[in-house]
Amino acid sequence: MDYRKFGNTYYIRLDRGDEIVKSILDVCEKEGIASATFSGIGGCSDAALQTFLPEKGAFETEIVRGALEMVSLLGNVISDESGKRYYHAHAMYTTRKDGAPCFAGGHLKSSTVLYTAEITLQPVEGGSIGYTFNPETGTGFWKLH
């Protein structure tokens, strides 16, 4: 992984074997970023994609593997009062199966870079976005200050 800051935006290049979510959180930790948004594209070898099932109060996870083109990654990082960081990300991947295009997407739990990924990370300016847990849904939400 390599990254640079230009203006208020961090440009992150991930390399083969880098895990996308961990890498984004590592940059936030190293740079003291409490809340931010991010987006990206790239080539990945696997992705753990989740769908939240309200009736179960839990996520269902599907692992996809192969030569995956990450055509869209959108997400955010937020922090609770103790400084612990949380992320919320969705991603869409394309690949080919039996010569036909296939698509997979959802909440991104993790994804490993196959050859490269390019991520832009934009810290929140003029404030921060916190984290609050909602026991009714079993998920966390933004706490706007």
Rounded-to-integer distance, Cα 43 and Cα 71, Å: 9
- Smallest CA-to-CA distance from 109 within 14, 6, 20, 5 is with 20
Does residue 140 have a pLDDT over 90? Answer: no
- The reported pLDDT for the residue numbered 128 is 87
Backbone φ and ψ for 4, nearest 5 degrees, come out as -140, 155
Tokens of 79: 């922090």
Residues 27-52 have pLDDT tens digits of 999 999 999 999 999 999 999 999 98
Rounded-to-integer distance, Cα 16 and Cα 23, Å: 12
- The reported pLDDT for the residue numbered 135 is 82
- The reported pLDDT for the residue numbered 74 is 98
pLDDT confidence band for 61 (50 / 70 / 90): very high
CATH code reported for the domain at 2-144: 3.30.1330.80
Residue 66: its H or E element = strand 58-79
Pick 59 or 2 by higher pLDDT.
2
CA 133-23-16 angle, to 5 degrees, is 140
